[in-house]
Amino acid sequence: MSTGFPKFVVSGNSYQKGVMYGEQAKDRIEKSVAFYNSTFKKRNISDEMLAKLVEKFRKIIEREYPEQYQQIKGIAEGSGIPVEQIIALNCRSEILQTARLMAPECTVFAAMPEATANGHAYCGQNWDWYPECAEFAIVLEAQNDDGPDCLIFVEAGMLCRNGMNSVGIGVCGNGLTAKGDAQQEGIPIPLVRRSILESKSYGYAVEILLCSQRASSANYILADKAGVAINFELTPNDFFQMYPENGILAHANHFIAGRGFVEDVFVKVFPDSVYRYLRAKEILNAAAPKITLDDIKAMFSDHFGYPRSICRHFEEKGGVGQYETVASIIMDLTAGILYVSNGPPCENEYHEYTFSKK
């Protein structure tokens, strides 16, 4: 059994939140920077190429998301790490994609009130990535004076991986790749997700998701405690939506709604996506309309297709087998509770996180 991830609370304006974040999570941010610098080098991304990519993204971030840019600058100030390194962290998916490294990052779900035993709305995901990332992942609570508070699971130094806000909006995301990705400028994923969580309503969140400029494909589940959830398969220039069936949504790492409209590259690297999606739906549908938290945990602990299962386990042979379920995240949007396991949920308990302000 593992311990939970540390939780840090930040407040103030964007820059002040960043400084507090950097000061509190300094040790973990340093580990995050070191890991991704090493990963960039292993993928033959030279220092010169990295500097050019970071500067390109810096201009986009400063222009399109100035408040988020102030927070990034604050993280750099608080941690004593150059701002370029913090930008690189927040653009790690986009940078690694230039080296054709695809990050699976997960099986996701949503269960709406009509499908659950307690009438609550849930969403969440298993985050599949390098196991070393558990050493620098955190839970971040961002308290906002002019918007909802946010409860976020994230790699230290980044603005968001997934999470929920105090008005009951939750966002989960996982990898998709289509032919033609990474051919144009776009907003880095963590900034889009953080902006979604700072939205006061579902309508604003959808606008941010669909109207932000995109460089690459990605999948999102956007859910609301009111009982609305939509899955969005995004490409740089289009999107395809999926709605719940019997109050349930699930997705993995291949195009479903967009199949036939795009050339799916990801599924050729992670073909296990097709049965992970099926298993998630089957397990949740079998428990509906009385899905419990334990049913969701059981779905995330499923070992069909082991080790490349929903609950993914490390393979010594390397390649795509280097990934495992680093954390399992379940959000009770109705109760405002975030449940997170540190490591594969089949062998690690979930720890509970809540908003400080009721």
pLDDT of residue 321: 59
Q: Where are the domains of the chain?
A: 7-98, 107-136+159-354
Superfamily of chain region 107-136+159-354: Penicillin V Acylase; Chain A (3.60.60.10)
Of the options 3.30.460.10, 3.30.1490.480, 1.10.760.10, 1.10.10.2120, the CATH number for the domain spanning 7-98 = 1.10.10.2120
Q: Is 22 exposed, middle or buried (0-12, 13-18, 19+ CB in 10 A)?
A: buried
pLDDT-derived band at 185 (thresholds 50, 70, 90) equals: confident
What is the number of other CB atoms lying within 10 angstroms of the CB of residue 273? 25
Distances (CA, A) of 348 to 34, 311, 344: 26, 11, 6
User: Any idea of the CA torsion for 30, 33, 38, 40, to the nearest 10 degrees?
Assistant: 180
- Rounded average pLDDT over 43-71: 95
pLDDT of residue 216: 87
Q: What is the largest CA-CA distance in the chain?
A: 55
pLDDT of residue 328: 98
Average pLDDT, whole number, for the chain? 94
Q: Tell me the per-residue pLDDT of 115-167, one tens digit each, with 9 for 90 and over.
A: 999 999 999 999 999 999 999 999 999 999 999 999 999 999 999 999 999 99
